[in-house]
Amino acid sequence: MARSWYAYDGMGNPFLTNSYNFTFIKPACLHGCKICAIYATGTGNSPSVLSGNIRSYIINMMVLPVAQPAEPAGIKIYVYGKNC
């Protein structure tokens, strides 16, 4: 399935798809304890699903304030954060 960038609305539950809005651009944010954007399955206004991996990455990003997954070096990042 295709993946797209989705910006978090900053208010909704970060584990619900309707809390994200499609964006054509890759986010400029990267690290921080607040969710900025995710790279998730879907091509519509909201992601079609938040996989178990994406959910784990969201939790890890909130705890570690580092974009996820953080390891190994050079891995594709799916959850971006921004300043707290």
Cis peptide before 72 (omega within 30 of 0): yes
* pLDDT digit string, tens, across residues 25-59: 999 999 999 999 999 999 999 999 999 999 999 99
Percent of the chain whose pLDDT exceeds 90: 93
* pLDDT digit string, tens, across residues 58-75: 999 999 999 999 999 999
Check whether 18 has a pLDDT greater than 90.
yes
Cis peptide before 69 (omega within 30 of 0): yes
